[in-house]
Amino acid sequence: MTTRIEARFARLKEEARPALVTFVMAGDPDHETALKIVQALPGAGADLIELGMPFSDPMADGPAIQKAGLRALKAGESLKKTLSLVRAFREGDGETPIILMGYFNPIYIYGVDAFVADALAAGVDGLIVVDLPPEMDDELCLPALDAGLNFIRLATPTTDDKRLPAVLKNTSGFVYYVSITGITGAAAPDAGKVASAVKRIKRHTDLPVCVGFGVRSAEQAAEIGRGADGVVVGSALVSAIEASLQPGGTPAVEAVTDIVARLAEGVRTSRLAKA
């Protein structure tokens, strides 16, 4: 059975363009506003949506996403409410892939079997769990795959050719290449190095390779999109949500969709620029 993620990348391949993958935190700045933001993302140009699962100890995230998670937790977001957000989104959109991204602890507390069943029923398509290495695939990866969820793994600049087969073994949907060493939003990626890394990964897999960490502008998105199957943007969006909370700030939904529209234009022109 083809998943929404696989179907979306097949369509984008026909259109000869990379995907724009957007990340926002569930429940940020509150549950209702977060739902409106997620509902608005496809219309603004997002091809796939990564939805953060708030967690109190997000070790791989930079300050912007850490603060987004804390805002969400303070507003009462939980994993159960995050799944209800996905269900509400699915009432109006049956095609845009939704990927839950975060850490294993909330899933472990929820119960792996219950979580996988409830995520599938809610309309979740894939999982990115950043603190579960391949050596722990029995914990969540294999049950998720058996249920029909894609399990997306991260590859980094330090993932060498010896390690890469283990990383890719049970990966499905796409490979998420972390373009810089360090936390999210810490630095801008080097498009040339990213393109070389994507080519190296593609020698080991037929899966699409999406690139994230550090992409903030349409120009960067266009540069990265020339050598990748998708461009992931997160910190820029959650920073816009934070700014919307300041006196006189642009409303959160509008602030996010304005950025996404510009990024989408960059992604959609990336291959034209290459030609």
Here the CATH number for the domain that contains residue 109 is 3.20.20.70
Nearest-angstrom CA–CA distance, 145 and 268: 31
CA angle 133, 73, 48 (to 5 degrees): 55
Please say if the pLDDT value at position 273 is more than 50: no
Q: Is 61 a catalytic residue?
A: yes
At residue 189 the predicted structure's pLDDT band, cuts being 50, 70 and 90, is: low
List the single range of 56-65, 93-102, 162-171 with lowest mean pLDDT.
56-65
Q: Is 47 a catalytic residue?
A: no
**Tell me, what's the pLDDT at 215?**
86
pLDDT in tens, 94-119: 999 999 999 999 999 999 999 999 99
Residues in CB range of 161: below 8 A, 6 or more apart: 200, 204
Give the closest residue to 132 by CA, choosing from 123, 122, 121, 145. 145
List the single range of 165-169, 170-174, 191-195 with lowest mean pLDDT.
191-195
Could you give the 3-state DSSP secondary structure of residue 138?
Answer: coil
Give the closest residue to 203 by CA, choosing from 237, 155, 235. 155
Could you give the 3-state DSSP secondary structure of residue 177?
Answer: strand
8 Å CB contact between 34 and 84: no
Please say if the pLDDT value at position 192 is more than 50: yes
Please say if the pLDDT value at position 246 is more than 80: yes
At residue 228 the predicted structure's pLDDT band, cuts being 50, 70 and 90, is: very high
**Tell me, what's the pLDDT at 274?**
45
Give me the number of domains the chain comprises. Answer: 1
- Choice among 61, 77, 125, 229 that is catalytic: 61
Structure tokens belonging to residue 108: 């472990």
Domain range holding 56?
4-274
**Tell me, what's the pLDDT at 262?**
96
Tokens 């507390």, residue?
Answer: 109
- H/E run at residue 42: helix 31-44
Mean pLDDT along residues 56-77: 92
Please say if the pLDDT value at position 272 is more than 70: no
Nearest-angstrom CA–CA distance, 29 and 44: 19
pLDDT in tens, 13-22: 999 999 999 9
End-to-end CA distance of the chain: 34
Nearest-angstrom CA–CA distance, 119 and 135: 23
**Tell me, what's the pLDDT at 18?**
96
- Choice among 28, 50, 118, 242 that is catalytic: 50
Structure tokens belonging to residue 212: 């994230």
Nearest-angstrom CA–CA distance, 165 and 67: 34
Nearest-angstrom CA–CA distance, 100 and 107: 11
For residue 188, which phi and psi values (nearest 5 degrees)?
Answer: -90, 140
At residue 185 the predicted structure's pLDDT band, cuts being 50, 70 and 90, is: very low
Give the number of residues written for the chain. Answer: 275
- H/E run at residue 224: helix 218-225
